[in-house]
Structure 1
Amino acid sequence: MKLNGIAVSRETEQRLNIFAELFYKWAKAINLVAPSTKGDLWSRHFADSARIYQLNPEPCQWLDLGSGGGFPGVITAILLAETGFGWVDLVESNHKKASFLRTVLSETGARGSVHTVRIEDAPAVISKEINAISARALAELPLLLDYCSPWMLNKPGVTAYLHKGRDYQTEVLKANRSWTFDLLKHASHVEEDSVVLQISGLKRAS
């Protein structure tokens, strides 16, 4: 099968099916995504999340902030399982959602672990070197960069991949008041006018 144009193995397809089954089971009790989008699990959430891995398919150390229902962090961890290398540290402060994420990672054999802490407290818990950071539907860009800064500030080799909607240009202008950074924009394959912002070279604006 293909996921957002990425050919995946039968083993990965099985892992994704397990994720989907667990998602629908847990979504009956806790809010994992917007209720109006639950029926679009594969075409929207899975495909949109796979876009992140498509942009950076190297088996590296990922940090996924505000992991929620597992997008994109769990999808990245499942795709990494096919390589046997790389890891995703998922940060989710909600205990119920964190339990869901741990269950999915365990039952799919995905390459990831969950940290049930607030994002502001995560740097004290995740002190290892991070290569890439992801976040989806979490916060406006200025605050996102605040969250990312402990792992990115003055570290040009660390790249963030951040899903953003059609108002991303306004958010970029706001972020430029406090930060300077290198920016690449990648079109979403799922939602018109949505993008993935690829950010590196993060520094505080002078």
Structure 2
Amino acid sequence: MNASPIESINGLRVSRETQQRLEHFGHLFIKWSKTINLVAPSTIGDLYRRHIMDSAQIFSCFPGPKRWIDLGSGGGFPGIITAILLTELKDGWVDLVESNGKKAAFLRVALQETGARGSVRTMRIESAPLTLKECDALSARALADLSQLLEYCLPWMDGTPTRAFFHKGRDYQLEVDKADGRFKFDLIKHQSIVEPDSVVLEIANLSRKSGGEL
């Protein structure tokens, strides 16, 4: 991993213990990536900037002891990173939803070995609202386009104060315009501190527009 330990995240300083948890997660990630495809292999050499720091922006957008649901957690971005950062507060929780058994096994090991505040739910996203009834915030990274993400999040967000946070690249406005045809929502764009062409989209007050079925 070609980066120094993380001492602050978007102005939020973290303890040495949290730095060590993030470093340990990075080593675990590299080890498991040799047998499981967790991210594009070409990006592993820049793991801290491209994945860990990028994921940590989610927490900096909505800090505090929140209850999170991370959809399609895959290699742990951003869910595991949020769960590690919550250890600073000794409060809050992340439910990581991942249907792939091998990836879910990796996530469980990562939570156990880092002491992060989270648990893994091995289930399809569409089934998750039946088990996970409510949360303060939802997150997803490299999972689907915005319209599909909002469809996933609607059971938790329709008529509630729950917020959602999604990483998106340079073409995010096309996804926003498409989703605007199906859903009503408030949008805040947080400029990425890692990738100049990327953003974190913060969604609130989500509801379906009349005639906005998929």
**Distance in structure 1 (CA, Å) of the matches to 2:12 and 2:98:** 27
Answer whether contact 1:4 1:47 (CA < 8 A) is retained.
no
| 1:93 matches 2:99 | yes
> Which residue of structure 2 aligns with residue 36 of structure 1?
42
Quick one: percent identity of the two aligned structures?
A: 63
**Matched AA of 1:91:** V
Indicate the residue corresponding to 2:192 in structure 1: 188
Q: Which residue of 1 aligns with 2:121?
A: 115
Which residue in 1 is equivalent to 2:85?
Answer: 79
Aligned mate of 1:24, from 17, 26, 30: 30
Letter in 2 for 1:88: V
**2-structure distance, mates of 1:58, 1:65:** 20
Secondary structure of the structure 2 residue equivalent to 1:180: strand
List alignment gaps of at least 5 residues for structure 1: none
In structure 2, the residue matched to 1:136 is 141
C-alpha change, 1:4 and 1:39, in structure 2 (3 Å) is farther
SS at match of 2:45: helix
Shift in Å at residue 2 of structure 1? 2.5
Q: Equivalent residues in 2 for 1:64-75 (5 A)?
A: 64-75=70-81
Deviates more, 1:4-13 or 1:142-151: 4-13
Task: Spell out, residue by residue over 1:67-105, the C-alpha distance to the aligned partner (whole angstroms, 9 max, x if none).
Answer: 011000000000001110000000011100000000000
Give the conservation status (yes or no) of the 8 Å contact 1:68–1:97. yes
Query: Which residue matches 2:208?
Result: 204
- Give 4+ residue runs of structure 1 displaced > 6 Å after superposition: none
Deviation (angstroms), 1:3: 3.8
| TM-score of the superposed pair, with normalisation by structure 2 | 0.93
User: TM-score normalized by structure 1?
Assistant: 0.96
**Matches of 2:206 and 2:9 in 1, distance apart?**
31
| Contact 2:83–2:93 under 8 Å retained in 1 | yes
Deviation at 1:4, TM superposition (A): 4.6
Segments of 5+ residues of structure 2 without an aligned counterpart are 1-6
